[in-house]
A and B are shown apart, each in its own frame.
Chain A
Amino acid sequence: MRTVNKKVCLLGDFAVGKTSLVRRFVYDLFDEKYISTIGVKVSRKTLAVPMEDGVIVELTMMLWDLAGSEDFSQMRGSYMRGASGAILVCDLTRPETLLNLNGYLADLQRISPGALVIVVANKNDSPEQQLRLCQVEEGAARLGAPCYVTSARTGENVEEMFRYLSRALAESSTGIAQ
């Protein structure tokens, strides 16, 4: 078994559900005060990822949940350094949050060019959705990233999305092409 640690950033506008996604996926000890004080909350999740060659990679994802508010826009760049992956989160009830992902991706590619990216359209449980699936898919394709439609409230696709990312990260660390 190999042990690998990766830094993953969660990016997206304020209140799109980044923290809820992490909370749904991880049960951790650190509380919310980190977000309000320095603009980031770090959580950890370890998964065993079986590879095609039979080797099991124990992948620890250090999930950096970056505050989406404007107050921390300057800090965000610093926190993106050294990221191996990023989850770009938008809100299905607010179309502008999908458009704003362009900015986050541009920053990420400038600071951590090799980072794997995944687009997540959250709040699929909401009756007030204003984005259609095809719009999300088109947006994600424009960003060159796979996309998942999730609901942090119901847990829909959350585990699947993180498992996909962990597998991609594990493969990238062994040099297997995506």
Chain B
Amino acid sequence: MSTENPVIRSENDSGRETQKRPVGVSVNGPNTFQPGSLARRTGSEHGANHRATSPGAEPQETDAALSTLQQILFGTDRDRIQVLVEDVDSLRHRIDDKEAFALAIAPVLGDAIRRQIHESRNEVIDALYPIIGQLVVRAVTEAMRDLARSIDERIQAATNFQRISWRLRSQITGVPIGELALRSGMYFSVEEIYLIHRESGLLLWHATANQNERSADSDLVGAMLTAIREFAEQVLGGGGEDLHHIRFGNRELIMEFARHSYVGVLLNGVVPEKFRWQLHQRIFAFEDRVRPYLQNYSGEALPLSEAASREFRSFLSIGAEFTQ
């Protein structure tokens, strides 16, 4: 194929031969054609050409034919270019709008990171370690500083008697005085108390720290607790062992058992060491008071409420006592 531009030969009004290039073909070849310049250039050239080749034709018809030719030759490209221009504008707009840009790339970025971690875990760890390591060190340092400050504040705020008590306990147990002070400051509260007939799972008494919170299903809770206890005993036990606690997040249900009844205490925070022993003592004290009644329990819980309240209600405010 020749590299020369095709040439149409014709004569102008003066009879001089002129060289005409086909429409849409530039002097630099078809690949360098600029659509924007098409109308201007072809308009002037075509006018001369038209007069030269078809002197009797109407200019409007020629323009229409040229327009049709343009449409045939460049219509598809023009539409594509229009779409591309719109896409570029849209992208430019999204890049300029930082929030929209972040929103657009977030899912892809997440997938990319996940994929990268999955495929090159070690490389990712190596890359992140300097940053993460520093963050962890800083967080731990800060936490340790808070801890030291908290211990110091508690020791400063403690009465002489408490300090003597901690010192004595520290000497006896070997636990540093700072740790004893810290332990005494840990959050702890009793939320609900369930006193339950051991055999039947019937609720004997119930109390809650939040008086406004009505616990309508306490007897169902008591029964289900008994069922869960029986289930655990059958499946996991076998040696006459009882289920003593259930933990869920920061909440814990502690259970202590006597012969005919058991107490379940729902609490929040870190359980103090002596709390469990106190609970154990109280459930036995309760049974001592009402043993004949419990031995032949007929389902009437009312006569037990006074004894139960006497033994257990104080636990609802005992958290404060333990945190002293």
| Residues of A near any B CB (own CB < 8 A) | 2-7, 28-30, 34, 38-40, 42-44, 60, 62, 64, 74-75, 78-79, 81-84, 173
Please indicate the chain B residues that have their CB under 8 angstroms from the CB of A40 in the complex: 227
Report whether A42 and B200 are in contact in the complex, using a CB–CB cutoff of 8 Å: no
Report whether A62 and B219 are in contact in the complex, using a CB–CB cutoff of 8 Å: yes
Stretch at the interface among B1-9, B149-157, B296-304, B313-321: B296-304
In the complex, what's the smallest C-beta–C-beta distance from A120 to chain B, in angstroms? 22
Considering the chains assembled together, what is the distance between the CA atoms of A6 and B299 in angstroms?
A: 6
Report whether B220 and A5 are in contact in the complex, using a CB–CB cutoff of 8 Å: no
Instruction: Using A42-B224, A62-B201, A62-B223 as known contacts, say yes or no to A84 and B299 having CB atoms under 8 A apart.
Output: yes
Interface residues of B in 214-243 (CB under 8 A from A): 217, 219-220, 223-224, 227-228, 230-231, 233-234
Instruction: List 22 A-B pairs, Cβ < 8 Å.
Output: A3-B302, A5-B203, A5-B219, A5-B299, A7-B201, A29-B217, A30-B220, A38-B228, A38-B231, A39-B231, A42-B220, A43-B220, A44-B219, A60-B219, A62-B200, A62-B201, A75-B231, A79-B227, A81-B230, A82-B197, A82-B199, A173-B298
Please indicate the chain A residues that have their CB under 8 angstroms from the CB of B298 in the complex: 4, 173
- Residue B202 lies at the interface, judged by CB distance under 8 Å to chain A: yes
| Cross-chain contact of A82 among B201, B220, B228, B302 (Cβ < 8 A) | B201
Considering the chains assembled together, what is the distance between the CA atoms of A156 and B299 in angstroms?
A: 29
Please indicate the chain A residues that have their CB under 8 angstroms from the CB of B200 in the complex: 7, 62, 81-84
Instruction: Using A40-B227, A44-B220, A78-B234 as known contacts, say yes or no to A62 and B302 having CB atoms under 8 A apart.
Output: no
Please indicate the chain B residues that have their CB under 8 angstroms from the CB of A43 in the complex: 220
Report whether B233 and A78 are in contact in the complex, using a CB–CB cutoff of 8 Å: yes
Please indicate the chain B residues that have their CB under 8 angstroms from the CB of A7 in the complex: 200-202, 223
Please indicate the chain A residues that have their CB under 8 angstroms from the CB of B223 in the complex: 7, 42, 44, 62, 64
Please indicate the chain B residues that have their CB under 8 angstroms from the CB of A81 in the complex: 199-200, 230
Considering the chains assembled together, what is the distance between the CA atoms of A121 and B86 in angstroms?
A: 76
Q: Contact string, B281-324, partner A, CB cutoff 8 A, digits 1/0?
A: 00000000000000000111110000000000000000000000
Please indicate the chain A residues that have their CB under 8 angstroms from the CB of B197 in the complex: 82
| Residues of B near any A CB (own CB < 8 A) | 197-203, 217, 219-220, 223-224, 227-228, 230-231, 233-234, 298-302
- Complex: chain A residue closest to B219, CB-CB: A44
Considering the chains assembled together, what is the distance between the CA atoms of A38 and B226 in angstroms?
A: 11
Considering the chains assembled together, what is the distance between the CA atoms of A74 and B224 in angstroms?
A: 18
Considering the chains assembled together, what is the distance between the CA atoms of A3 and B202 in angstroms?
A: 13
Considering the chains assembled together, what is the distance between the CA atoms of A37 and B231 in angstroms?
A: 10
- Complex: chain B residue closest to A174, CB-CB: B298
Given A6-B299, A44-B219, output 17 extra A-B contacts at Cβ < 8 Å. Answer: A5-B300, A5-B301, A6-B202, A7-B201, A7-B202, A29-B220, A34-B224, A38-B228, A42-B220, A42-B223, A42-B224, A44-B223, A79-B230, A81-B200, A82-B201, A82-B202, A84-B299
- Complex: chain A residue closest to B297, CB-CB: A82
In the complex, what's the smallest C-beta–C-beta distance from B302 to chain A, in angstroms? 6
Considering the chains assembled together, what is the distance between the CA atoms of A169 and B202 in angstroms?
A: 15
Report whether B227 and A38 are in contact in the complex, using a CB–CB cutoff of 8 Å: yes
Report whether B300 and A4 are in contact in the complex, using a CB–CB cutoff of 8 Å: yes
- Complex: chain A residue closest to B221, CB-CB: A42
Please indicate the chain B residues that have their CB under 8 angstroms from the CB of A62 in the complex: 200-202, 219-220, 223
Please indicate the chain A residues that have their CB under 8 angstroms from the CB of B219 in the complex: 5, 44, 60, 62
Considering the chains assembled together, what is the distance between the CA atoms of A117 and B134 in angstroms?
A: 71
Considering the chains assembled together, what is the distance between the CA atoms of A74 and B299 in angstroms?
A: 26
Please indicate the chain B residues that have their CB under 8 angstroms from the CB of A75 in the complex: 230-231, 234
Report whether A78 and B202 are in contact in the complex, using a CB–CB cutoff of 8 Å: no
Please indicate the chain A residues that have their CB under 8 angstroms from the CB of B300 in the complex: 2-5, 173
| Cross-chain contact of A3 among B198, B227, B233, B301 (Cβ < 8 A) | B301
In the complex, what's the smallest C-beta–C-beta distance from A34 to chain B, in angstroms? 7
Kindly list the 10 A-B residue pairs having the minimum CB-CB distance in the complex, ordered from nearest.
Answer: A82-B200, A82-B199, A78-B230, A42-B223, A7-B200, A38-B231, A4-B299, A5-B299, A5-B202, A173-B298
Considering the chains assembled together, what is the distance between the CA atoms of A5 and B224 in angstroms?
A: 15
In the complex, what's the smallest C-beta–C-beta distance from B219 to chain A, in angstroms? 6
